[in-house]
Amino acid sequence: MLDGGLGSELERRGCYTRDTLWSARVLLDEPEQIARVHRDYLEAGADCIISASYQISFEGFERAGLCAFDTERALRGSVAIAQQECSEFEKKHGRRALVAASVGPYGAMLANGAEFHGNYGIGLEELMAFHGRRMRILWEAGPDVLACETIPSFEEAEALVECLHELPEATAWFTFTCSDDRHTGHGEEFGDCVRWLDRETQAVAIGVNCTAPGLVASLIRIAREETEKPIVVYPNSGRRWDAAQRTWVGPESERDFGALAKSWRQAGARWIGGCCGTTPEDVRKIRENWVV
């Protein structure tokens, strides 16, 4: 079991997240709020916490007036906070939880919603330059796995894999954001992406995240046809990201994540959680309906 939304949960609790750095701004200014959200997800039943590094990049921090030292400290700090909360939780409850270091897409740095369509106007080499350095720093911080998440296109997945090859001891899961029940946000066949990643030994799980819940069952079936690796799914609440207002808009989908998670496990998913708009209560419902 994974955790749920971080930036949206921080916003729900009154933190300011409309900065271009989103949850990374909270990490810089109020790290105790990040720790509290991690703690609440663990108490709700999560077995894995995703670090608050999604929006951290050297380019994005530079645009916000911060230096490379600030960026590296934030990357390492995001993992350290998650590790500390997992350690305290294990001492208290005797149950170990994993830490996944979030590797957000290039579009997250642009802060214009481009992570949902992947039309960046740059090539593979530029994507590799963007991802490589921070992936190395995140892995050196000691997480259990890297979470290459909210990937909108095959090309960005390819860039992430090339960077992963530079870290031969590292492992990662790869999750795409999808526009419908067959295609990535950029338009590639999801099944083709899964088939390609299946051959990568450092890719330990493949799936989708920040995708509408109603699309997940079909995407699981497609993935199941292309890989024997664990399928990981953590959809959003079904709302749409408004880049201009920097907030989620529109109605939410069905919120009984417990029943949904049960159906997703029956369809073949093995790592399940929530993304933007989901809460510790949703994770608690997943735990209550968990079927091994």
Percent above pLDDT 70 for the chain:
93
Q: How far is CA 48 from its chain centroid?
A: 11
- State both tokens at 174: 């790869």
Q: How many domains does the chain have?
A: 1
Instruction: Give me 134's structure tokens.
Output: 């921070």
Concatenating the DSSP letter of every residue in 138-205 gives: HHHT--SEEEEEEE--HHHHHHHHHHHHTSTT--EEEEE-BSSSSBBTTS-BHHHHHHHHHT-TTEEE
- Angle between helical axes of 257-267 and 213-226 (0-180°, round to 10): 20
Q: Is residue 215 part of a domain?
A: yes
What distance, in Å, lies between the first and last C-alpha atoms of the chain?
11
Tabulate helix, strand, coil % of the chain (nearest 5). Answer: 50, 15, 35
Phi, psi torsion values for 83, nearest 5 degrees: -65, -40
Check which CATH number belongs to the domain holding 243 and give it: 3.20.20.330
Residue 1, domain member (yes or no): no
- Burial class of residue 91, CB neighbours in 10 A (0-12, 13-18, 19+): exposed
Provide the residue range defining the domain that includes 229: 7-288
pLDDT digits (tens, 9 = 90+) for 122-170: 999 999 999 999 999 999 999 999 999 999 999 999 999 999 999 999 9
Confidence category of residue 245, pLDDT binned at 50, 70, 90:
low
The answer as to whether 240 is a domain residue is: yes
DSSP string, 78-101: HHHHHHHHHHHHHHHHS---EEEE
Q: Considering Cα of 114, then 277, then 150, then 88, what sign does the dihedral take?
A: positive
Q: Looking at the domain assignment, is residue 143 inside a domain?
A: yes
Asked if residue 2 is part of any domain, the answer here is no
Measured between alpha carbons, how far is residue 71 from residues 46, 53, 60 in Å?
Answer: 28, 10, 9
| pTM for this entry | 0.94
* pLDDT tens, residue by residue, 192-234: 999 999 999 999 999 999 999 999 999 999 999 999 999 999 9
203 assigned to some structural domain: yes
